[in-house]
Amino acid sequence: MSTLLVCDATLVTTFDDSDRRVLNAGIFARDGVIEAIGSHELLPAKADEVIDAHGMVILPGLICTHHHFYQTLTRNLPAGQDAELFPWLVAHYPIWAKLTPEGVRSSTAIALAELMLSGCTTAADHGYLWPNGSRVDDQIAVARAMGVRFHASRGSMSVGRSRGGLPPDDVVEDEAAILRDCERVIAEHHDPARHAMTRVVLAPCSPFSVSPELMRASAELARKHGCSLHTHLCETKDEEQYCLEKFGQRPVAFAESLGWSGPDVWYAHAVHLAPDEIERLGASRTGVAHCPTSNMRLGAGIAPLLAQVRAGMHVGLGVDGSASNDGCHMLDEARQAMLLQRVAHGAGAMSAHEALRLGTRGGAEVLGRDDIGWLAPGMAADFIGVRIDTLQTAGGAVHDPLASLVFCRIPQVDLNVIAGRVRVRNGALVDVDLPELIARHNRLARELVA
């Protein structure tokens, strides 16, 4: 049994159904689960660990619904700096083909460190490239050691250039081997229980790198085991053209025909959707990971986010891979989501609160979870604390503390608690030797492009 008491926060915002906000309050958690939220007289006076949250806003931890951790090794690659998606991919594939197990472990640690410092408590990664003996197990081991709630994708690519796909043949896998390994990873790692720290996702990469047969078989396998499904869809016009030419269908119709819609499915991006497609995906409660920075960086377009939310799609936020962002900052991503919708639809399009809701509850809905994303007794003790007495919030947080987390630029959080364990304290990662991690990562990144 272990207990945690966070006390004296300036504001606790729960994002519960009544949008409960409590001033000068705290949170008490036992064994990773919230027991009480409220003012001091309502909370136990003692705990195994006590955190003074004076000067902080406490809110649910942010949930990253789309990432490619391994790309932290190829951020800012000159050949990809100014390219759109397809040439950007073609520039990166030969380098990614040299990825090693050590590279997978290092990039997972770097991405998770950056995510935790920016307010993330649950991360979904889309790993789809497993060369040179690298495995998703390496990612899972690192996430467990760092104490992050993790949805690991056993993703895949199976159609190389010789069969009409975009990736080179040496980075794609045999389809039977992919499905066998998916079964193995689910059996070894997938935890369907409430408050699970590890879940497995099946995630063929995109329509232009896997076959329809693999998409269909992955959906059947995932549903047999109660796992979620994830893929890239409708990111660019190039992809739409590819689907029309190769399959005679637009991407959404193609995905739907293979069983790829519903509340257990989420797409990355979904930028180029027609109005009738949004209505259908809303009716089926299909999810989307909105990645505004990546969409801007690659010039992919502005996703019809407001229409997706209105139609009933589950919508969360993702940072996308670090080679198209090139950071993993979840509070920044909420800010970008808000600002980009304003570019398209005017200043009233999205509020700071709505952007934070997408990053928290929205992400939980996308991942199919009802135990994270908002704060209440019985929910996972996953929350963050952000100081509002800083340089960046000076003269701003006094007017509206919660909105200042989006309108003002927050370099990093001060507190990050995942499953009741303090992962960031006083703005520093707990149990992580960051200088050593960065030095190793830079060495590996240099070796990869050498």
Q: In this structure, what DSSP letter does residue 71 have?
A: G
> What is the pairing mode between strands 56-60 and 383-387?
antiparallel
Tell me which stretch binds Zn ion (CB under 5 A): 26-34, 51-59, 213-221, 313-321: 313-321
Q: How far is the CB of 269 from Zn ion (least distance, A)?
A: 7
* Nearest to Zn ion of 14, 322 (CB atom): 322
Residue (of 319, 287, 290) closest to 303 by Cα position: 290
- Residue type at position 13: T
Which one of residues 114, 239, 320, 354 is an interface residue with Zn ion (CB under 5 A)? 320
Considering only residues 8 to 47 of the shown chain, the ones binding Zn ion according to CB under 5 A are none
* Nearest to Zn ion of 239, 320 (CB atom): 320
* Nearest to Zn ion of 268, 418 (CB atom): 268
* Nearest to Zn ion of 291, 413 (CB atom): 291
Tell me which stretch binds Zn ion (CB under 5 A): 41-49, 315-323, 394-402, 434-442: 315-323
Q: In this structure, what DSSP letter does residue 61 have?
A: P
How many other CB atoms are there within 10 angstroms of residue 392's CB atom?
A: 13
* Nearest to Zn ion of 71, 416 (CB atom): 71
Tell me which stretch binds Zn ion (CB under 5 A): 178-186, 208-216, 252-260, 318-326: 318-326
Q: How far is the CB of 96 from Zn ion (least distance, A)?
A: 13
* Nearest to Zn ion of 260, 383 (CB atom): 260
Distance CA 209, CA 320 (A): 18
Phi, psi of 9 (to 5 degrees): -70, 145
Q: How far is the CB of 126 from Zn ion (least distance, A)?
A: 6
Query: Under a CB-based contact definition with an 8 Å cutoff, are residues 375 and 37 in contact?
Result: yes
Distance CA 110, CA 105 (A): 9
- Asked if 333 interacts with Zn ion (CB under 5 A), we say no
* Nearest to Zn ion of 323, 334 (CB atom): 323
How many residues form the binding site for Zn ion (CB under 5 A)?
2
Residue (of 177, 264, 169) closest to 224 by Cα position: 264
Considering only residues 218 to 277 of the shown chain, the ones binding Zn ion according to CB under 5 A are 268
Q: How far is the CB of 71 from Zn ion (least distance, A)?
A: 9
| Beta bridge partners of residue 384, listed in sequence order | 59, 416
Distance CA 291, CA 71 (A): 15
Tell me which stretch binds Zn ion (CB under 5 A): 98-106, 141-149, 271-279, 320-328: 320-328
**Residue 123 structure tokens:** 């991360």
Distance CA 230, CA 211 (A): 15
* Nearest to Zn ion of 14, 231 (CB atom): 231
Q: How far is the CB of 20 from Zn ion (least distance, A)?
A: 35
Query: What is the per-residue binding string for Zn ion in 287-306, x denoting contact by CB under 5 A?
Result: --------------------
Q: How far is the CB of 66 from Zn ion (least distance, A)?
A: 6
Q: How far is the CB of 85 from Zn ion (least distance, A)?
A: 9
Distance CA 254, CA 161 (A): 21
Query: Under a CB-based contact definition with an 8 Å cutoff, are residues 290 and 337 in contact?
Result: yes
Distance CA 203, CA 200 (A): 10
Q: How far is the CB of 303 from Zn ion (least distance, A)?
A: 13
* Nearest to Zn ion of 320, 365 (CB atom): 320
**Residue 426 structure tokens:** 């006083």
CA distance readout (Å), 44 to 3, 10, 155, 389, 408: 10, 18, 45, 27, 34
Can you give the binding site for Zn ion, defined by CB under 5 A? 268, 320
